[in-house]
Structure 1
Amino acid sequence: MDGAAIETAMQRHVDAGELAGAAMLVWRGGTARTICVGWRDIEARRLVERDTIFRIASMSKPVTSLLTLMLFEEGSLALDDPIIRWVPEFSRMRVLRSPQGLLSETEQAERPITVADLLTHRSGLTYGDFHRGPIAAAYGTLGGDIDSELSPDDWIARLAELPLIDQPGRQFHYGKSTDLLGLIIARIADAPLADVLKRRILDPLGMKDTGFIVPRTNERRRAGLHGFDAEGRLTTLQSAPGGHALAERPESMTFVSGGQGLWSTLDDYLAFARVFVGGGAVDGVRLLQPQTLAMMATNHLTDLQRSQARLLGMPIFAQGHGFGMGVAVVMEPDKADPVRCGGGPGSLGWPGAYGGWWQADPNDGSVMIFLAHSMVELEQLARGIGLGVWSAISEFQSLGSRLQ
């Protein structure tokens, strides 16, 4: 199979108005094949190109998680360290008796949150958008999930005032764990997270177009914010869904989201993803030792935690996948949903809410990446609006796996 079949299939999704455009890459045997379809800016009629810069949303989480494990290898932190070592604001944690209950109806946390809890999303932190009870409005006081007007110290202090929705270590709850990890790293390094990421990962791997902002010199390469109107028609958005991010981030803003704030390109993210098929190194640049990489890419959820884990009300790890440290891990390939990642046993990846996706398969040394801007409100998802991008990703995963 050649790339023409993928291009034809993906163009059908563009023609159907399911996404504005997409940039795709399949890397195997040291050769990268790229396929680009549609528009990076539907108003300016600018085509998606190989170097188009996209918001990658939660594809940021594996990057921050890997940086955490680099500090672990150096002895700057231990996985069982209570986070109050760096964020004493969390010294008096309370836990909601019910995730939908009153904020006053709490019990004491049975133990502190650890670094490992944050890496595996078993901290009891969550996202406000996932709830309808009072905790949803309480999370709204933190500002936008990506662009918050709060300083990092104020954000940490305000998050620490909120009750957890579960006891630390008890269950997988997707949420702000990686954002908190990023700000802990900044305190350990006594430097902004953006600077630490650049020095430790982005520059060594040559990821020159990855960061929390897109420089003005690269504005023409930036993908526009695309989503859907109330009738499900493709349109240009003024900001990210839910007000999570601003169309233009102020230079004075100091908060950064290590969990979902990065922009990147196909080639930049390929450099990062190759770490997972290269035993922790890329072209002689070593970020992790093989044993640490193996720990990151191994399921850490118990059977009960896998069966009970939910995302938007749907089981996420009940079959096919487990969760390592910042990444989903394929455990039963025949049952693995490709929207998280496919491939053989031990393959890994983690998608982004705006239509980004990747997988790295150490069995054949391959990497696949799909980048798009298909930004959907949760209530639109509930009505079936915006699901086309996930169908496109599943089709790309299937076709890309057979690309020779």
Structure 2
Amino acid sequence: MTLTAKPEDVGLSSERLARIDGWMRGLVADGRLPFVQTMIMRRGEVVWHRQTGLADIARDKAIAPDTIVRIYSMTKPLTSVAIMMLYEEGRFQLDDPITRFLPCFRNMCVVTDAGADTLDTVPAEREITFRDLLTHTSGLTYDFMRATALDAHYREKGVDFQGSARSLGEVVETAATLPLLAQPGTQWNYSIATDVLGHLVAVISGQPFGDFLRERVIVPLGMVDTDFVIAPDKVPRFASNYTKGPDGRPKLLDDGQASTYAAPRLASGGGGLVSTAADYMRFCRFMLNKGTLDGVRLLGRKTVELMTTNHLPGDMAQMGQPRFSESPYDGIGFGLGFSVMLEPAKAQILGTPGEYAWGGAASTAFWIDPAEDMAVVQLTQLMPSSTYPIRRELRVLAYQAIVD
């Protein structure tokens, strides 16, 4: 995606934005990140797209504007759009129990003590609803949390949507045999909820989830490099993925030129996509335009407004014991597929009430600020995303550049 205007044309300072360059170079030079790429759009104009570092350290291959990366949980907003498209077709209501379509979730139980070594349970007081899944208040959890006995049972039973040889439906049905971490609707717990939503898309539409997302969302939005697999001709553009090594420098996790992403794999609604900065900015533009892009409308304005409104009684910190998520808890609420800024002062960060966001496990992130008519996409490939506070650092650098 080429730049379409100068920063000053949309109320940003080129001099202040240049601070992002120095910050990115520093992250790469001191060995914290293999590369970093940033794209900024305001008032419909892309005014900043810079990158530095190596997409493949071993091969000394520089990051390029069109480098493809694993976006992990930045898949979730697209899955949320897909299920809300079916909502707009009248297929279900948000307060409908998901057992209408997935009877395997009937008669669920809830652990009585999430911190205990055993899984003593009581019956669930009500069934899981679509809204519970969209807001991560369903009581489901993640296998990688490693915080409770229930998380361990997820691992033992193979409730893992990344690289599983089983079908989406089979993994979901296995998850339904395990108890819930909390009563539905009572706690915010980051979880496999969006993967379950992906399976619901398939069941309700009668079409495999991956096919639905490609045909109904990705292709209409012109996201030409976004998919669950890497096409052979695109492998050279696929970045490698890293973690922090013993010496503090990036250590290879997944070689981009020999990755499992190049073979058919499970279409995971919670974290399966690869994408580019330009592609994901098209998604951000679609959201900023309240459900339409280049003459194609996927969602109505009122639906987008509902999705990006906080659906919790307060912030995430008030909805249970904070565990890992791709967002801070204080001052941040959650809508239907996105975190939502409530109080920048409480979150202790520059921002605007009503902005919405999410991130991915390899330290990718985006946020959209309707009040400022602004969107930012940040890409790198370092796991886990909690390794360095680069999202908060970029937020300050992007917002301090607003001068109008």
Q: What pairs up with 1:159-308 in 2 under 5 angstroms?
A: 159-238=175-254, 247-249=259-261, 251=263, 253=265, 255-303=266-314, 306-308=317-319
Q: What pairs up with 1:60-99 in 2 under 5 angstroms?
A: 60-99=75-114
In structure 2, the partner of 1:155 is 171
Verify the 8 A CA contact 1:317 1:323 in the aligned structure 2. Answer: no
Verify the 8 A CA contact 1:125 1:175 in the aligned structure 2. Answer: yes
Q: What's the RMSD between the two structures over aligned residues?
A: 2.3
In structure 2, the partner of 1:333 is 344
SS in 1 for 2:280: helix
Verify the 8 A CA contact 2:358 2:365 in the aligned structure 1. Answer: yes
In structure 1, the partner of 2:25 is 11
Verify the 8 A CA contact 1:147 1:256 in the aligned structure 2. Answer: no
Return the alpha-carbon distance in structure 1 between the equivalents of residues 93 and 250 of structure 2: 46
Aligned CA distance change for structure 1 residues 27 and 11 (closer, same or farther; 3 Å)? same
Verify the 8 A CA contact 2:139 2:182 in the aligned structure 1. Answer: yes
Aligned CA distance change for structure 1 residues 73 and 103 (closer, same or farther; 3 Å)? farther
Number of residue pairs matched by the alignment: 385
Verify the 8 A CA contact 1:308 1:315 in the aligned structure 2. Answer: no
Q: How far has the Cα of 1:364 moved from its partner?
A: 2.1
Return the alpha-carbon distance in structure 2 between the equivalents of residues 365 and 128 of structure 1: 37
Structure 1 residue 34 and structure 2 residue 70: aligned?
no
In structure 1, the partner of 2:115 is 100
Return the alpha-carbon distance in structure 2 between the equivalents of residues 20 and 304 of structure 1: 34
Q: How far has the Cα of 1:249 moved from its partner?
A: 4.1
Verify the 8 A CA contact 1:308 1:318 in the aligned structure 2. Answer: no
Structure 1 residue 50 and structure 2 residue 61: aligned?
no
SS in 1 for 2:194: helix
Return the alpha-carbon distance in structure 2 between the equivalents of residues 123 and 330 of structure 1: 21
Given candidates 345, 349, 357, the residue that maps to 1:349 is 357
Verify the 8 A CA contact 2:33 2:249 in the aligned structure 1. Answer: no
Return the alpha-carbon distance in structure 1 between the equivalents of residues 75 and 319 of structure 2: 25
More displaced, 358-367 or 1-10?
Answer: 1-10
Return the alpha-carbon distance in structure 2 between the equivalents of residues 311 and 49 of structure 1: 37
Return the alpha-carbon distance in structure 2 between the equivalents of residues 46 and 148 of structure 1: 30
Aligned CA distance change for structure 1 residues 362 and 110 (closer, same or farther; 3 Å)? same
In structure 2, the partner of 1:243 is none
Verify the 8 A CA contact 2:315 2:342 in the aligned structure 1. Answer: no
Query: Which amino acid in the other structure matches residue 352 of structure 2?
Result: G
Return the alpha-carbon distance in structure 2 between the equivalents of residues 247 and 139 of structure 1: 25
Aligned CA distance change for structure 1 residues 231 and 144 (closer, same or farther; 3 Å)? farther
Aligned CA distance change for structure 1 residues 9 and 403 (closer, same or farther; 3 Å)? farther
Verify the 8 A CA contact 2:226 2:275 in the aligned structure 1. Answer: yes
Aligned CA distance change for structure 1 residues 334 and 102 (closer, same or farther; 3 Å)? closer
Q: How far has the Cα of 1:200 moved from its partner?
A: 1.2
Specify every segment of 5 or more residues in structure 2 that has no aligned partner in the other structure, as ranges.
Answer: 1-12
Q: How far has the Cα of 1:102 moved from its partner?
A: 5.0
Specify every segment of 5 or more residues in structure 1 that has no aligned partner in the other structure, as ranges.
Answer: 241-245
Report the TM-score when normalising by structure 2: 0.89
Query: Which amino acid in the other structure matches residue 107 of structure 1?
Result: V
Aligned CA distance change for structure 1 residues 289 and 266 (closer, same or farther; 3 Å)? same
Query: Which amino acid in the other structure matches residue 395 of structure 1?
Result: E
Verify the 8 A CA contact 2:316 2:333 in the aligned structure 1. Answer: no
Aligned CA distance change for structure 1 residues 316 and 143 (closer, same or farther; 3 Å)? closer
Return the alpha-carbon distance in structure 1 between the equivalents of residues 293 and 321 of structure 2: 34
Query: Which amino acid in the other structure matches residue 353 of structure 2?
Result: P
In structure 2, the partner of 1:368 is 376
Q: How far has the Cα of 1:264 moved from its partner?
A: 0.7
Percent of aligned pairs with the same amino acid: 35
Aligned CA distance change for structure 1 residues 397 and 162 (closer, same or farther; 3 Å)? same
Verify the 8 A CA contact 1:100 1:135 in the aligned structure 2. Answer: no
Verify the 8 A CA contact 1:307 1:317 in the aligned structure 2. Answer: no
Query: Which amino acid in the other structure matches residue 222 of structure 2?
Result: G
